Chains A and B, each alone.
Chain A
Amino acid sequence: MKILTGNDLKSGAVVWWDGSEWSKYVNSAEDVGDNGDAIIAREEGARRVFSAYVIDGERDANGVRPAHIKERIRALGPTVRPDLTLKPGDPDAGNWVI
């Protein structure tokens, strides 16, 4: 699947396109197919995000998983600071990245 990611303009936070708005959870990401560029143009124009781009991912039993490790770390947070990730209560969350 093709998923769309970017950064929130004000906070810089990593966000994912869920089909109608931006979510901080990669599991909310929708397959944008061939529409990525059009969504990017519209959303960046409206200053809701910046530095947006389309990446490869797949949906499995655990949710949406970006294809590349860099995007998986973006999706979770720094593996060396579990307390600062999106799953601070899960000390093993970093395993999902690898």
Chain B
Amino acid sequence: MYKYDQYDQQMVDTRVAEFRDQVRRRLGGQLTEEQFRPLRLQNGLYLQLHAYMLRVAVPYGTLNSAQMTALGDIADKYDRGYGHFTTRQNIQYNWIKLEETPDILADLAAIEMHAIQTSGNCIRNISSDQFAGAAADEVVDPRPYAELLRQWSSFHPEFLVLPRKFKFAVIASETDRAAMKLHDIGIKMVKNAAGEVGAQFYVGGGMGRTPMIAPMIREFVPLDQLITYAEACLRVYNRYGRRDNKYKARIKILVHELGKEEYTRQVEEEFAHLLGQDIEPPIAELERIKTHFTDPAFEVGAPDDLDLTDPDFRLWVERNCHTHKQPGYSVATVSLKPVGGIPGDASADQIRLMAQLAKDYSLDELRVTHAQNIVFPHVRKADLYTVWKALDEAELSTANLDTVGDIIACPGLDYCSLANARSIPLAQKISQAFGSAEKQSELGELKLKISGCINACGHHHAGHIGVLGVDRKGVENYQLLLGGSEGADTSLGQITGRGFDEDGVVEAIETATQVYLSNKQGEERFLDTYRRIGMAPFKEAIYG
């Protein structure tokens, strides 16, 4: 894992001191709310529906156990005993007091964490594949490149006031586990014919009110030009992105309006110019970063055998564990989606338990996933049963990864001041209706995602089944979408028709799954069947 150097630590510590002074001046009346608001947002402190909310960055979703333990402690010490893991691989605290925020940021700085650039029209936390460094199918570990981008984008003076917020994702596998093409810039690390590693650039994707899939604009950017090319992409956007209309200010609109070819031409022109400016960090810096991401000390010859006689354990292994690149090891995902639970929430005790298990059994590492779960990336197969037993005692052993119970849901109107409808109660209702092991087994892989407003923090456009909550004259109403996907086969869901109330949308989902089961051929997933038979049979069954 990356370790802060003196510059990283000094930047974060300085920011804490600066914000402590700003809070003092706000409470003392030297700053108005109008003056203070952008300052608190630059430090991740929002005002939400019930209180201040602090969003803490988890760079590319990677944590060590000391950091995870501290996140649990912060939940106890400053919040109400829980945290919420988000679709940006971050963690949010919902009940923060302004006067305590500088102390929280100081606690975070002590474990090499912060909340900088988790808000505002800047480059946000870089997300990545939660299996990075462990996946059997990756070309390279994408995290050194994500870290290089993090360092480049932190406090980058030219990109702190972009037309709108800006999100990167970096992956390095054919299997896209990070919704890479639905980001402002998605980067896929690849190898060319000569075996050299480089970056494939996808620009102009996103969800929100105008969902778009990012087109590829450059097949291969050499490693010693990676930052320069990213800079060129941002410069063109910063220069021509619309600042007159916040709903048309994301880079996806610029790429769409200019057209992929013209945007690419302008980027290449800027890139050629920048190559002469010598802005690329020395390759030695990338090499220095890479030394922080070398493989941990895997046990050579660890046994691959697993005793699967316990049926519940077997189900969990089948659903929640993935192949590791190292023989004798497994990647284990902890679902934060118990039946009827709140997606992404974990109590302070659960957070600390996961930290301890990571320390004891996952070579000190954890990952946060964009699907609001936690990953132990390096578990010896010989330890899996012990880990599962400990999780089970803490109600963290739900075996539902990528099934209908593994619902992504934004905080919705229960917490969010932007939301139009509640997401969590609907997720709970669906989870209770479909969450049994039998039902999940019958339905197989089925990704269900719920957003409480058009901003799409719940990724509803990318759900095999998506739900969008809207406000219809002060009453919650839910639109149903089918056919979205976020992986290598990224697609955008289509709205079925008129919306439903909460019970109605659960019934409509039940009907949609029945249409799937009636039409399923062979091993088809819900998404495969939908793509083969189209919307019409679903619409006919749902609306009659």
Q: Which A residues contact B (CB, under 8 angstroms)?
A: 7, 9-14, 44, 47, 50-51, 67-70, 73-74, 77-81, 84
Contact = CB atoms under 8 A, between A and B. Distances in A.
Nearest to A83: B80
A17 to B, nearest CB: 17
Given A50-B33, A51-B33, A84-B80, A69 B474 contact: yes
A78 B414 contact: yes
Contact of A70 (B27, B49, B80, B424): B49
B491 interface: no
B345 to A, nearest CB: 9
Contacts of B415: 78
Interface of B: 26-27, 29, 33, 47, 49-52, 80, 95-99, 342, 413-415, 417, 419, 422, 424-425, 428, 474-476
A66 to B, nearest CB: 10
Contacts of A9: 26-27, 98
Given A11-B97, A11-B98, A73 B413 contact: yes
Contacts of A67: 474
A74 B27 CA distance: 24
Contact of B27 (A47, A51, A68, A80): A47
Contacts of A81: 342, 414
Contacts of B424: 78, 80
A7 to B, nearest CB: 6
Given A9-B98, A10-B99, A12-B97, A79 B414 contact: yes
Contact of A79 (B33, B47, B97, B422): B422
Contacts of A51: 33, 47
Contacts of A11: 51-52, 97-98
The 5 closest A-B pairs by CB, nearest first: A12-B52, A12-B51, A78-B414, A50-B33, A80-B424
Given A73-B49, A84-B80, 19 more contacts: A10-B27, A10-B98, A12-B47, A12-B52, A12-B96, A12-B98, A44-B33, A50-B33, A69-B476, A70-B419, A73-B413, A73-B422, A74-B49, A78-B414, A78-B415, A79-B422, A80-B424, A80-B425, A80-B428
A58 B50 CA distance: 21
Contacts of B474: 67-69
Max chain A C-beta neighbours (<10 A), residue from B49, B80, B425: B49
Contact of B414 (A10, A12, A73): A73
Nearest to A78: B414
